[in-house]
Structure 1
Amino acid sequence: MPLLVKDYSWTQTPSSICLTIPLKRANPRKVDVFATDEYLKVHFPPFLLEVFFSEAIDDDTSVAKIGNGVAVLTLRKKEDRMWEQLTIDDADKEILKSIRERAVLKAQEKSAADSKTRAEKKQEENKYTLEKMMKIEEGQRNNIEKLKADERERATAELEAWKLQQKREAEKEEARKNRQTQEQKIQLSYTSQLSPTKNTGTAKYQRKDCDKKNLAPLPAPRSPCTIKIQFTPRVFPTALRESRVPEEEEWLKKQADARRQTSTDVSALNDLKEDERNPDWLKEKGNKLFVTGNYLAAVNAYNLAIQLNRKIPALYLNRAACHIKLKNLHKAIEDSSQALDLLLPAVADNADARMKAYVRRGTAFCELELYAEGLQDYDAALKIDPYNQTVLSDAEKIRQFIQGSMPDHLAPEKNM
């Protein structure tokens, strides 16, 4: 049986009642307060306080503060006037039981109403969020369609300009041929007017009607001759490039195999046009988007090209540059490393691409403040091109920063 609390106190104003209940060293976290407009229960085991109000209160605006060994309840009255007493005196047990049951029923109804209100509010919020997402997606689709339409118009304009240029060149060629034919006709006409005559044992061509036509004689044809060419023997040593023939042949074979590889995932190609299924076309598209600063769209173009062909190093190399701009530094490191793996064996034809891969990975490391790893990649790039002044300058800045000889405001820039 719980112990009933009798030593509580209360005061009132015309608008509120202040009820003070000693907690008798009870844990504040274990104090349970339950209130309706005509009933109050405060339970902190093993103690229990029940109050059957003589008049109605507003339980929605009432507050309870628990701490320092007491519970202070501020109860708002529904009518602003002074009460003659706090509780019902000499009430029958059945009446008290009925009040208690009504309080429980009201609490259940209120809880159900609150749950329904919360559910409706959550549903409204979800509906609002969904509408916002649909509007955003619709705007993105409209932007994509606009970009596609602009690209189609630009491509159509370029095609028309190319056709016009070809037509003009054809007209020029036709005019040149007509002019050449006319000149040949004039030449033949002029030659037919010449007749061979002998004068003092020497063959000469005399002009007919020279005074009338004023035509100069043609020069005599050149006499044939033979020019002898002698080659000097090869005495210099074999060039270094010729000693890398096996590696270069392997690189060329690897490039040819990469060009022949295309994704067999038909589902990824269903929504693409014919030119959009070409990795080279997508790479050029991504390059143009990168130049305009639309790095996210460029990444999407490179992603689709990589799905079509995963063996082209330039795709990973260009996507790494986009990730650096977007501050996706770990992805930039992964793409640069993948490009370096594909750029093997190391030959002169892929030296420039390997240097770019090392510099971009080193830049990503420096952005992550991993300067030692970044310096290693810059040194690897300098082994490929030791005279690149930009890479030399950036590598020296990183080295000084690591050694602590460079002030923070002169530290290597993040966009190296």
Structure 2
Amino acid sequence: MPLLVRDYTWDQTETQIFITVPLKGVRAGKADIFCTEDYLKVNFPPFLFEVVLFASIDESKSSAKVGNGVIIFTLYKKESGMWEQLPTVEVSKEKLQKKRENAILAAQNKAQEAATEKAIKKRGNEKYSLEKMMKIEEDNRKQIEEMKEQERRNATKELEEWKLQKHEEEELKRKEELKRKEELKIARHKIEAEKRRMKKEDNKIQNIGSRRPNRHSVNRGTTGNIFAENSKEQIIPSPRSAGNIQIHFTPRVFPTALRESLVDEEEEWLRKQAEARRAENANIANLKDLKEEEKNPDWLKDKGNKLFASGDYLAATNAYNLGIQLNNKLPVLYLNRAACHLKLRNLHKAIEDSSTALDLLTPAVPDNASSRLKAHIRRGAAFCELELYVEGLQDYEAALKIDPSNKTIQEDAEKIRHVIQGTPPDL
């Protein structure tokens, strides 16, 4: 049976109540303190202190200090004024029990309301966080869309500039050809005129030589020889006739059937590859400390491939970096560096290198189909790692257009579709 504590003391002001309850051996965390607006209870076995207050208090502001065998309560009155006594008039055990139950029930309701309010606040915070994350993802998606749109605009601009340059070159060639034909025509006219003039002179000489000679002249034996010598001096061989030499080059044959071939695109791809090879030595003069083999982008590519195969992705990236510094027109260097960035979790750099490789792998021809397939797969994987599944699915679908029979790509694309739709994949 608990021991009721009655030797407490209390004091008050207009707004506060101070209660001192001595409990032998009481320590913080050992005493069970329960307080409502009109009920106060302390349970520290075997001691029990409870009191029904004279008036209401604000339990949210009230406090208790426990230590040195005593508990000091500081209670704030709801209404200012002096109390006639601390407890209310003596009540029966039944009323005290009822008051205790009501206080406990009120405390439970209040705790439940506080928990409900806390849960609502938590859901509000989670909703706010989710909205913020969705906004960040939307901003990132818009930024990537803007980057892609800018890339498309740049590619279109470069293509238009190339078409304009090609048109100007063709126009210049046409003018040069017309000029050459005109000069050739003038030269032919001059040759024909010279031929006619020479023919007239030959006829004139022949007419003079065919006349019958004078007898005195024949006897002298000199006149006929003079005409013969003059005719020999006047006869000049006619110039050779002009002509054209036709040169036929053996055309490059692609494996694509002629009815399906895109000859212009294939020739453009070959031209870009030739320009890339010619640009290999453009920046070597600025890298004087390199060894001879380190000045070869192909050697650096093979070196990077070996480092990648051994798992040293950072060193492989450095090899590809130097190769790109020597020649920034080779798509395989960007493609291989994108694979390194995927391994190193540099996802944005992997997307950038894959996009650059795709820009260099234009126009799309059968010779670069394998490289374009790898570029789409690596960029799609980076998008999916960033949880940008819509963009990743677009790259996987582009890869399937290149190789529709690839089972692995088909399965990966189907998994991404399930993630986007929020449905579990078929087992």
What TM-score do you get using the length of structure 1 for normalisation?
Answer: 0.51
8 Å Cα contact 1:282/1:301 also seen in 2: no
Matched letter for residue 85 of structure 2? Q
Q: Do the aligned partners of residues 282 and 126 (structure 1) sit closer, same or farther apart at CA in structure 2, a change above 3 Å counting?
A: farther
8 Å Cα contact 1:32/1:43 also seen in 2: yes
Who is 1:122 aligned against?
122
Q: Do the aligned partners of residues 186 and 305 (structure 1) sit closer, same or farther apart at CA in structure 2, a change above 3 Å counting?
A: closer
**Offset of 1:38 from its aligned partner?**
1.5
Q: Which one of 332, 348, 351 corresponds to residue 297 of structure 1? A: 348
Map 1:221-260; keep pairs closer than 5 Å: none
Who is 1:406 aligned against?
none
Question: 3-state SS of the aligned residue for 2:135?
Answer: helix
Map 1:17-416; keep pairs closer than 5 Å: 17-195=17-195, 201=232, 205=236, 280=331, 283=334, 297-302=348-353
8 Å Cα contact 2:54/2:86 also seen in 1: yes
**Offset of 1:165 from its aligned partner?**
0.4
Question: 3-state SS of the aligned residue for 1:88?
Answer: coil
**Offset of 1:252 from its aligned partner?**
11
Cα distance in 1 for residues equivalent to 2:146 and 2:354: 21
Cα distance in 1 for residues equivalent to 2:30 and 2:236: 134
Q: RMSD of the TM alignment (CA)?
A: 4.1
Cα distance in 2 for residues equivalent to 1:46 and 1:303: 77
Q: Deviations over 1:286-344 (max 9, x none)?
A: 99xxxxxxx973344348899x98xx9xxx9xxxxxxxxxxxxxxxxxxxxxxxxxxxx
Cα distance in 1 for residues equivalent to 2:349 and 2:133: 23
**Offset of 1:145 from its aligned partner?**
1.7
Q: Deviations over 1:102-138 (max 9, x none)?
A: 0011011001100010011111111111222222222
Cα distance in 2 for residues equivalent to 1:190 and 1:206: 16
Cα distance in 2 for residues equivalent to 1:253 and 1:301: 19
Who is 2:13 aligned against?
13
Cα distance in 2 for residues equivalent to 1:140 and 1:252: 34
Which structure has the larger Rg?
Answer: 2
Cα distance in 2 for residues equivalent to 1:66 and 1:94: 30
Cα distance in 1 for residues equivalent to 2:301 and 2:77: 91
Matched letter for residue 116 of structure 2? K
**Count of equivalent residues:** 246
8 Å Cα contact 1:42/1:50 also seen in 2: yes
Matched letter for residue 173 of structure 1? K
Cα distance in 1 for residues equivalent to 2:23 and 2:71: 7
Q: Do the aligned partners of residues 282 and 84 (structure 1) sit closer, same or farther apart at CA in structure 2, a change above 3 Å counting?
A: farther
Q: Deviations over 1:347-388 (max 9, x none)?
A: xxxxxxxxxxxxxxxxxxxxxxxxxxxxxxxxxxxxxxxxxx
Question: 3-state SS of the aligned residue for 1:60?
Answer: coil
8 Å Cα contact 2:53/2:87 also seen in 1: yes
Q: Once the two structures are aligned, what percentage of the paired residues are identical?
A: 41
Cα distance in 1 for residues equivalent to 2:301 and 2:348: 32
Q: Deviations over 1:45-97 (max 9, x none)?
A: 33221111122212122122223443221111122111111113331111111
Cα distance in 2 for residues equivalent to 1:81 and 1:144: 68
- In proportion to residue count, which structure has more strand? 1
Matched letter for residue 127 of structure 1? K
Matched letter for residue 98 of structure 2? S
Cα distance in 2 for residues equivalent to 1:39 and 1:129: 41
Cα distance in 2 for residues equivalent to 1:75 and 1:93: 25
Cα distance in 1 for residues equivalent to 2:192 and 2:140: 77
8 Å Cα contact 1:282/1:305 also seen in 2: no
Q: Do the aligned partners of residues 94 and 135 (structure 1) sit closer, same or farther apart at CA in structure 2, a change above 3 Å counting?
A: same
Q: Do the aligned partners of residues 10 and 283 (structure 1) sit closer, same or farther apart at CA in structure 2, a change above 3 Å counting?
A: same
8 Å Cα contact 1:16/1:75 also seen in 2: yes
Q: Do the aligned partners of residues 83 and 64 (structure 1) sit closer, same or farther apart at CA in structure 2, a change above 3 Å counting?
A: same
Cα distance in 2 for residues equivalent to 1:51 and 1:85: 11
8 Å Cα contact 2:9/2:19 also seen in 1: yes
Cα distance in 2 for residues equivalent to 1:168 and 1:305: 28
Question: 3-state SS of the aligned residue for 1:194?
Answer: helix
Q: Do the aligned partners of residues 205 and 190 (structure 1) sit closer, same or farther apart at CA in structure 2, a change above 3 Å counting?
A: farther
Structure 1: 4+ residue segments shifted above 6 A? 250-255, 303-306
Q: Deviations over 1:397-416 (max 9, x none)?
A: xxxxxxxxxxxxxxxxxxxx
Who is 2:277 aligned against?
none
**Offset of 1:206 from its aligned partner?**
9.1
Q: Do the aligned partners of residues 14 and 204 (structure 1) sit closer, same or farther apart at CA in structure 2, a change above 3 Å counting?
A: farther
8 Å Cα contact 2:26/2:66 also seen in 1: no
Cα distance in 2 for residues equivalent to 1:304 and 1:164: 25
